[in-house]
């Protein structure tokens, strides 16, 4: 009887591990783990290409998704709200740059996120930057930043108002 229980337990454990590893493998695209948040990209190159195509600035969320309390609060109070999602779809390209502690990201994604953290001099989380990118030499990005923010109380509409001011800076710099 004990052997049957042990065998069943081992089979269950193996199946669980296979399912978990398969689901994690499916979440990786081109060396980057996809975001758990709808509408958010994780690859700066892909965000750049879409930004160029749509002429929308990039809104980057530097976050610690599995440990940062203020990041979780910002996500719940702003980013997950329909008002923000509708605004973002019309106005920006969303880029999530995550720095988790409990899970590991693919090496290429870790490298990209570390380079962007250094380029934007991010020292606290969440930090939200709005910017355009350019590649004049076809290799290295040049950054045109319009502003940064972090967590701010007041819900999605108040947050959107502050982001709209950054978009106004973009429009003034183009004209």
Distances (CA, A) of 4 to 15, 16, 89, 108: 16, 18, 55, 44
Whether residue 34 is contained in a domain is answered as: no
Whether residue 71 is contained in a domain is answered as: yes
Whether residue 126 is contained in a domain is answered as: yes
Whether residue 6 is contained in a domain is answered as: no
User: Residue 83's domain is classified under what CATH number?
Assistant: 3.40.30.10
At 26 the pLDDT is 40
Q: Are 97 and 113 in contact (CB under 8 A)?
A: yes
SS3 content of the chain, % helix, strand, coil (to 5): 50, 20, 30
Domain that holds residue 102: 39-174
> In the chain, how many domains are there?
1
Tens digit of pLDDT at every position of the chain (175 positions) = 555 555 444 444 444 444 444 344 447 877 889 988 889 999 999 999 999 999 999 999 999 999 999 999 999 999 999 999 999 999 999 999 999 999 999 999 999 999 999 999 999 999 999 999 999 888 899 999 999 999 999 999 999 999 999 999 888 877 6
Whether residue 156 is contained in a domain is answered as: yes
Whether residue 111 is contained in a domain is answered as: yes
Whether residue 81 is contained in a domain is answered as: yes
- pTM score, whole prediction: 0.83
Q: Are 93 and 54 in contact (CB under 8 A)?
A: yes
Whether residue 46 is contained in a domain is answered as: yes
């Amino acid at each position: 009887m004990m052997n049957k229980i042990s065998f069943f337990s081992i089979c269950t454990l193996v199946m669980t591990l296979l399912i978990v590893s398969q689901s994690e493998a499916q979440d990786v695209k081109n060396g980057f783990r996809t975001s758990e948040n709808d509408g958010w990209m994780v690859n700066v190159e892909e965000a750049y290409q879409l930004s160029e195509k749509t002429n929308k600035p990039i809104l980057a969320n530097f976050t610690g998704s599995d440990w940062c309390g203020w990041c979780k609060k910002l996500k719940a109070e702003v980013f997950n709200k329909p008002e923000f999602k509708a605004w973002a779809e019309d106005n920006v390209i969303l880029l999530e740059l995550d720095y988790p502690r409990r899970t590991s990201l693919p090496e290429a994604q870790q490298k990209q996120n570390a380079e962007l953290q250094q380029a934007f001099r991010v020292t606290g989380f969440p930090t939200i930057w709005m910017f355009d990118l350019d590649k004049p030499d076809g290799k290295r990005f040049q950054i045109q930043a319009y502003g940064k923010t972090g967590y701010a109380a007041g819900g999605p509409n108040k947050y959107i108002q502050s982001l709209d001011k950054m978009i106004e800076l973009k429009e003034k710099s183009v004209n």
